[in-house]
Amino acid sequence: MKKWMIWSLLTTLVACDNQQRTSENELAQHMPDKVQPTNRSDNSHNSQLTGIKLIEEVKASPGKIVIPYKKYILDNGLTLILHEDDSDPLVHVDVTYHVGSAREEPGKSGFAHFFEHMMFQGSENVADEQHFKLVTEAGGTMNGTTNADRTNYFQTVPANQLEKMLWLEADRMGFLVKAVTQEKFEIQRETVKNERGQRIDNRPYGRLYETVSEALYPAGHPYSWPVIGYLEDLNRVDVNDLKAFFLRWYGPNNATLTIGGKIDVDETLAQVVKYFGSIPRGPEVTMPEKDAIVLKQDRYVSIEDNVHLPLIYMSYPTVYVRHEDEAALDLLASILGEGKTSLLYKNLIKNQLVVNASVNHPCAELACTFNLYALPHPASGKSLADVEKIIRQTLVEFEERGVTDDDLIRAKAQAESRYMFGLQSVSGKVSQLAANQTFTGNPNYIEKDIERYTSITREDVMRVYAQYIKGKSAVILSIVPNGKANMIAAKDNYKMPERILTPPKQVSADELQLRQAKDSLDRSKIPAAAKSLSVSIPEIWRDSLPNGIKILGTQSTETPTTALLFKVPAGHLFAAKEKAGIADLLAKMLNESTAQRDGESMSNELRKLGSDITITNGDHYLSISVNTLTKNLAATLALLEEKILQPAFNEADFSRVKNNAVQDIKNSKKEPGYLANRAFRQLLHEDNIAALPNNGTEETITAISLNDVKAFYEKHFKPADSQLIAVSDLPQPKIMQMFTQFKNWKGESPQLTLNLPEPKVKTGTIYLVHKDNSAQSAIRIGKRAIKYDTTGEFYRSYLMNYPLGGAFNSRINLNLREDKGYTYGAGSVFSGTKLAGQFTASAEVRADVTDKSITEFMKEIQQYYQAGATEAEMAFMRKAVNQRDALKYETPSAKLKFLARILEYGLQPDFVKQRSEIVDTITLEEINKLAQKHLNFDEMVIVVVGDAKQLKTQLKPLGLPIVDYQI
């Protein structure tokens, strides 16, 4: 699990905010085509089909940015969009309903999100949990998401599985209500509560967005309640209320079915009509009103939370998605607070007054907000009131500074690259078509979206600043540590409106307006998969540079882009124990100033190219990821060379990076997942570097000097044994010619000689880590296990674990989530490196069922250890694992991961074939022997993070030793 940095937490929360964005953030896509729409009322593909009409066809031709598609309307109102993409043998199916939390009634919040869960619980012809099972064993992936304005369900599967996906989606659209039982309702209600606990109530700053929404929008406004809903609302309704909501909003006339990938149009049309054509229309749906939100004065509100640092968040109401002023407001947000080119970076972050500050402008169908936030650095002595003052001064500075040429260049470059990168997956293209249709009625909106950004002028940005920000009122939220109410920016002057809690009128079963499809189709019969399509492993080329860099690459011509991954053997495990975190500090410093320019100038140059260079630290390697439009590759590589070979190692940069790293660690300790992972890592290793987190500890980071970082760089950051993986539309000779600029990088670093002995730790013991007032408990159960390999015992153990905890339909998840409602998700995994491996079972569960959850974990692991898998589970595992290949190589990112594994472990590409043969031939006897070897519960440790005062009494009856464990 990734560590939760302070700004990572806020980025996640802003992502919740951005769930409501329905323009460029819906995975914008584009192709070099010319729009050639044809409005049609006939069906030119299959004249035998009735009940469906071709409305529009958009073709591709050079010079324009478009996703080619054909748009149809069924007689029942369902919109169908088809996009042909033969580049990979897969399809992506998306059903988007124009219903989100904004369609709910006051006092009945959370229904749309609740239905995101219920739609996976089986329908009249699909058994409980069968949807997950069928998609997984088809080799696919699936999910659903809900925001304020829409709910979507999607699957990516091998192309021969398309008909089965259409059958599944049609069954839950037209045959769900009768299958929704009180029991399913109760279980999923608990699951939603767990999700809220994990994502909001038990997360630092988790209540930020819903608090701002409550203060910003008037009572009863569709955005005044959170998408996930309030617990009291969920507790007050019953299954018939939920069914009534479905019947109101989930008709085919309020849905868009979008299919993209390797499809036969005639066959697909026939299958869509077959499965969806007889589903009756639902009630008519009108577009919601877009009432402007205007505040007469600043509204100061505050909350206390289990956080380390206070936060100030200022939110101005602006426009709505795709309003003519949206793009200019986005650019204004970028100038003020996006990255090292921003004014807030200059005025607050660079001088260490705050740990982080940023600005964003998320947009939704009915409203947008312009948000500025910052977290003061404890050492700066600045209060939230001080920071608010500096933010307001920064707005004045912008007004005087205006918009520069570079601001506009960056905006246009970022728009071009963002849209071009979106072309790299069929799922991205399908998502954009679906979103554009849902919110504009026009799937072909990409060019307009791009033009909105590329046509912005200085005058546009200054005008929107004056119209929506200058002198305007905002909601100003202070989040302060528990018991520190004196830290708020200003005294609260706004009282939150009373929530509407009138007991809702209960809906009886007789009042439900049921709709039933009538046809002669036997919908109980699961469609068989079509003939499998062969999956081609990317053609690989190998090369090297004289300085020892090994290079592995493949050509991918779908988009004019290049993705690179540099892996330098200078990661966490190369450090001394007392210097834990030094590799992480080095990665951060390589993202700072160079000998030629400061960090702001470097960021400016990269963003003007629309390029991204990210440097991160892992156990074995420092990883350098590069994404760029190929036309800008040479310029991007020049900047990369400067970043990694000419670091300035400025004292001021180091002071800021180091101080922020310490604050990051302190704030991470408010995250139960971080605490659990850190404790678990310590217990599985002896007192060495592997026992400590990659980002170090407060003590080790504090002790590291700039000279230490320089020395680590000089000793370990060398080209010999480094790896470079390339996925580009360029052929090998051309891209190798560009790589020669790294030929002057010389040197060889010491080999890693670390030994990781088995820990001397008491097993069969609960190690209890205290976290104040924790609404949930984080559980980790496991032991040291086998080292990583690609075709040996590690891989076979992965197959063994699959039925136990490796899939949604695994025993552990079905038990704890679907049967008991204890958690939002649970599972188990074997993970490993060349040096060590481990088995981990994990979940975050409701605090009041921590003991019961551990009991169920124990039961499932022990039963699997003793009796092993079943023949049915073996069959499921074989299908699921062996049919995934089509999804492994689709995008440049997926190709990079595939090639990186080959290069790191010295593999031949046919290791994929070897693995497939293992899946086909591994026996139940071998699976069960591996379970008996690796899953002895008596050899495992148990980590529990939660409120120790409450948990000790609860856990005592388990009969296991309990140790208070300190991080």
Q: pLDDT per residue over 56-65, tens digit each?
A: 999 987 777 7
Whole-number pLDDT of residue 115: 81
Chain mean position to CA 866: 37
Query: To the nearest whole percent, how much of the chain has pLDDT over 90?
Result: 73
Q: Which residue, 659, 3, 94, 72, is CA-closest to 377? A: 659
Whole-number pLDDT of residue 356: 95
- Tell me the C-alpha distance between 332 and 457, whole Å: 11
Strands 354-360, 151-158: pairing is: unpaired
Q: pTM value?
A: 0.89
Q: For 892-935, what is each residue's pLDDT tens digit? A: 888 888 899 999 999 988 888 899 999 999 999 999 999 999 99
Whole-number pLDDT of residue 504: 63
Give mean pLDDT, residues 239-247: 89
Domains of the chain, first to last: 299-424+440-487 (3.30.830.10), 541-670+686-742 (3.30.830.10), 766-893+909-964 (3.30.830.10)
Strands 776-785, 837-846: pairing is: antiparallel
Q: For 10-69, what is each residue's pLDDT tens digit? A: 433 333 333 333 332 332 322 333 334 444 444 445 557 899 999 999 998 777 778 999
Count CA within 13 A, CB hemisphere, residue 654: 18
Find out whether 337 and 344 touch, Cβ atoms under 8 Å: yes
- Name the residue with tokens 């991470």: 668
Looking at the chain, the number of H-run helices and the number of E-run strands are 33, 25
User: Lowest-pLDDT range, 208-212, 624-628, 836-840, 880-884?
Assistant: 880-884
Number of neighbouring beta carbons within 10 Å of residue 646:
12
Amino acid, res. 37: P
- Name the residue with tokens 């100061």: 300
Of residues 520 and 7, more confidently modeled: 520
Q: For 105-153, what is each residue's pLDDT tens digit? A: 888 899 899 888 888 888 999 998 899 899 998 889 999 999 999 999 9
Whole-number pLDDT of residue 38: 46
Whole-number pLDDT of residue 231: 85
At residue 408 the predicted structure's pLDDT band, cuts being 50, 70 and 90, is very high
Give mean pLDDT, residues 799-815: 96
Q: What's the length of the chain?
A: 967
User: Lowest-pLDDT range, 320-324, 537-541, 665-669, 697-701?
Assistant: 537-541
- Cα distances (angstroms) measured from residue 208 to each of 26, 76, 90, 199, 359: 23, 41, 40, 12, 15
**Residue 459: partners with Cβ closer than 8 Å, 6 or more residues away:** none
At residue 885 the predicted structure's pLDDT band, cuts being 50, 70 and 90, is low
- Tell me the C-alpha distance between 579 and 690, whole Å: 12
For the cut 90, the answer to whether the pLDDT of residue 389 exceeds it is yes
Whole-number pLDDT of residue 536: 75
Q: For 348-360, what is each residue's pLDDT tens digit? A: 999 999 999 999 9
**Residue 618: partners with Cβ closer than 8 Å, 6 or more residues away:** 571, 572, 694
Give mean pLDDT, residues 289-304: 94
- Tell me the C-alpha distance between 907 and 776, whole Å: 43
